[in-house]
Amino acid sequence: MGLAGLAIEQVNERLTSSLTTFQPGISDQVKTRKALLDAIMKRKKLYSGGTEVGLRLRYKKAAKIGQSGGVGAFSYYDELNVTPTDTVKASGEKWSNFQVPVALSHEEIYENDGEHAFDRFKENTEFAMDDLSDNLNDVAWGISGGDGNKLPTPIPDVISGSDALTLYGLPKASNTFLYSQDVTNVGDLETELIDAMSEGESLVIDNSPNKGDVVDLWITHREVWLGLKKVIPQYVQLNSFKKADLGFSEVIYNGKPVRWDSDCPLDSDNKYQMFGLMLKYWEVAIRRQWNFKTTQFFDMMPNQAASVAQLLIGMAIICNNPRTNVRIKGIEL
């Protein structure tokens, strides 16, 4: 091995060591670049093994009083009802895997000899995290390209009302418990959006298991958020400065934050829409082995004079109760 090869090998060892030290913070760095990712990644859960994430969906409630199974009424020495009621369907969501290369050409390493090589390494790592955050956000919104069979079920497919989609392998048409709440044809933002949000919130509460769950977060396009900010009186907005530090401007409606994300897609009529999330029923499943993992830098010679590591994540986005979420569509500015 020549001296240049030995130098590259030593640099790669130092780069790998630096990336390994930095790895625990990558998850936070990626999620805090996007308002949606910041919200749903709070529901992260690690898994080991398996070809998919098991999903148990409650498709009906137990029988009512007077019916077979479920809740019964008794007095004194009545025989108790012990007839079970099956209320759950089992399904699953496959794993989706994503990778981003972190690369430094040998020429860049030579040009930035010494400690400056790590400045370039840090810069390229920042670029990789930016790219991963952008693409995971696109995946969550269902606006990414590529092979859809390798991608997770996007949020607009979960919160899509009573359409004809197949969700987690189950046709919604014959499994109406998969319907989310839907407020359509809202019209003018200034006069009708607040009413639509109130309607959507009441529908969500009425269809939650204990009638006490509420929307945790509203998220919409930037243009709608700006219009809403003008409509809601300043004295009830109560802007959140905590999230503003991350760049996530919020206004508060009925005690709940409203965020914007310019990646939020338009509806089928090319009009704006808003999504209300009840986060307790969402989960971002992460492969424990590929939890924003970084691989070692390795030399690509002789095919390419570069050193490359990979940033890897395996994930699935699931919701075990779509009915507790709402989509508002047809918003006109």
Q: With 90 as the cut, is the pLDDT of residue 246 above it? A: no
Of the pLDDT bands very low, low, confident and very high (cuts 50, 70, 90), residue 239 is low
pLDDT of 219: 97
122, 164, 193, 156: which is closest to 319 by C-alpha?
156
Number of domains composing the chain:
1
pLDDT of 137: 96
Examine residue 152 and state whether it is found in any structural domain, yes or no.
yes
For 181-216, how does the pLDDT look when each residue is reduced to its tens digit (9 = 90+)? 999 989 999 889 999 999 999 999 999 888 878 999
Q: What average pLDDT score do residues 4-23 get?
A: 71
CATH number reported for the structural domain that contains residue 294 in this entry: 3.90.1690
Q: Which of 11-25, 217-231, 309-323 has the lowest mean pLDDT?
A: 11-25
Q: Which of 97-101, 110-114, 321-325 has the lowest mean pLDDT?
A: 110-114
β-pairing, 272-277 with 326-332?
antiparallel
pLDDT of 238: 54
Q: Are 331 and 193 in contact (CB under 8 A)?
A: yes
**Residue of 128 and 302 predicted with greater confidence:** 128
Examine residue 110 and state whether it is found in any structural domain, yes or no.
yes
Q: Are 324 and 207 in contact (CB under 8 A)?
A: yes
Examine residue 188 and state whether it is found in any structural domain, yes or no.
yes
Of the pLDDT bands very low, low, confident and very high (cuts 50, 70, 90), residue 249 is confident
For 121-168, how does the pLDDT look when each residue is reduced to its tens digit (9 = 90+)? 888 888 999 999 999 999 999 999 989 899 999 999 999 999 988 999
Examine residue 11 and state whether it is found in any structural domain, yes or no.
yes
Torsion of CA 266, 268, 270, 276, to 10 degrees: -30
Examine residue 158 and state whether it is found in any structural domain, yes or no.
yes
What percent of the chain has a predicted confidence (pLDDT) above 90? 55
Question: Which burial class, exposed, middle or buried, applies to 225 when counting CB atoms under 10 A from its CB (0-12, 13-18, 19+)?
Answer: buried
Average pLDDT, the chain: 87
Q: Which domain holds residue 217?
A: 3-54+92-332
For 315-325, how does the pLDDT look when each residue is reduced to its tens digit (9 = 90+)? 999 999 999 99
For residue 203, the number of C-alpha atoms closer than 13 Å in the C-beta half-sphere is 20
Examine residue 149 and state whether it is found in any structural domain, yes or no.
yes
pLDDT of 242: 55
Of the pLDDT bands very low, low, confident and very high (cuts 50, 70, 90), residue 87 is confident
Q: Which of 58-62, 201-205, 260-264 has the lowest mean pLDDT?
A: 58-62
Q: Which of 23-32, 267-276, 281-290 has the lowest mean pLDDT?
A: 23-32
Examine residue 325 and state whether it is found in any structural domain, yes or no.
yes
Of the pLDDT bands very low, low, confident and very high (cuts 50, 70, 90), residue 7 is low
pLDDT of 84: 79
β-pairing, 166-167 with 187-188?
unpaired
Examine residue 60 and state whether it is found in any structural domain, yes or no.
no
Q: How far apart are CA 196 and CA 185, in angstroms?
A: 9
Q: What average pLDDT score do residues 69-76 get?
A: 88
Q: With 70 as the cut, is the pLDDT of residue 260 above it? A: yes
Q: With 50 as the cut, is the pLDDT of residue 3 above it? A: no
pLDDT of 197: 95
Q: With 50 as the cut, is the pLDDT of residue 2 above it? A: no
